[in-house]
């Protein structure tokens, strides 16, 4: 501590150590937030439902998402990645998850979603299992913090069913 460089070194070391501690506490403070997000999805129309040449089912559908993820945001949230997945079980795979739509919510103001859209990504089953199949539409989200731990959660919406016949 007797020279300028040694004092500068001590200051930088100590201040960065404290900064790390502050970041850890900011990450821990996320646990104080108990979010209450809401989500609803309506399937408006299954406008394409076919068996492809290789035997796999392919679906195109339009749907309506209304969700409010504002309570997920805290002071330590950088952005939230949100996606809607169709989930169903088949004899071959206990759980199939197919992403139909996704989005990045950069701020709390953007976290009120109301969107009517077709599936952004192709919906193809591994096989021909989709006729008259029950499926869930699940809204998943991943919270990306400024510092510390990432969180992920979801809301599953049940009671959807594919048509009995191809169209």
Partner 1 sequence: MCSAGMGVCVRRCGGVCGGNGVCVRRQKSSELVASPMDWQGQKLAEHLMQLPLVLFAVLAFITGYVLGSFQTMLLIYAAGVILTSLIMIPNWPFFNRHPLNWLDSSEAEKFPKPQPANLGTKKKTSKK
Residue from 28, 31, 52, 75 touching partner 1 (CB under 8 A): that is 75
Q: Output 7 or 92, the one with its CB closest to partner 1.
A: 7
Query: What's phi and psi for 9, nearest 5 deg?
Result: -60, -45
Candidates 145, 152, 108, 151; CA nearest to 26 is 145
Residue from 68, 74, 111, 131 touching partner 1 (CB under 8 A): that is 74
**Can residue 4 be called a binding residue for partner 1 (CB under 8 A)?**
yes
Candidates 9, 71, 67; CA nearest to 35 is 71
CB 57 within 8 A of CB 123: no
Report, in Å, the least distance between residue 150 CB and partner 1.
16
- 72/90 Cα distance (integer angstroms): 33
**Can residue 22 be called a binding residue for partner 1 (CB under 8 A)?**
yes
Task: For residue 20, count other CB atoms closer than 10 A to its CB.
Answer: 11
Show the site string, 27-66: x = touches partner 1 by CB under 8 A, - = not.
Answer: --x-------------------------------------
Where along the sequence are the contacts to partner 1 (CB under 8 A)?
1-4, 7-8, 10-11, 14-15, 18-19, 21-22, 25-26, 29, 74-76, 146
């Amino acid at each position: 501590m007797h020279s300028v460089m040694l004092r500068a070194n001590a200051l930088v070391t100590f201040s960065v150590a404290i900064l790390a501690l502050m970041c850890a506490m900011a990450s821990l403070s996320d646990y104080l937030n108990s979010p209450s997000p809401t989500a609803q999805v309506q399937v408006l129309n299954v406008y394409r439902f076919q068996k492809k040449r290789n035997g796999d089912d392919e679906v195109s559908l339009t749907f309506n998402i209304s969700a409010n993820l504002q309570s997920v945001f805290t002071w330590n949230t950088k952005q939230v990645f949100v996606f809607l997945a169709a989930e169903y079980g088949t004899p071959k795979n206990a759980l199939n998850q197919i992403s139909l739509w996704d989005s990045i919510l950069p701020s709390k103001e953007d976290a009120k979603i109301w969107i009517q859209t077709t599936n952004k990504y192709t919906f193809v089953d591994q096989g021909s299992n989709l006729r008259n199949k029950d499926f869930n539409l699940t809204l998943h989200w991943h919270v990306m913090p400024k510092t510390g731990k990432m969180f992920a959660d979801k809301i599953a919406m049940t009671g959807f069913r594919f048509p009995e016949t191809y169209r």
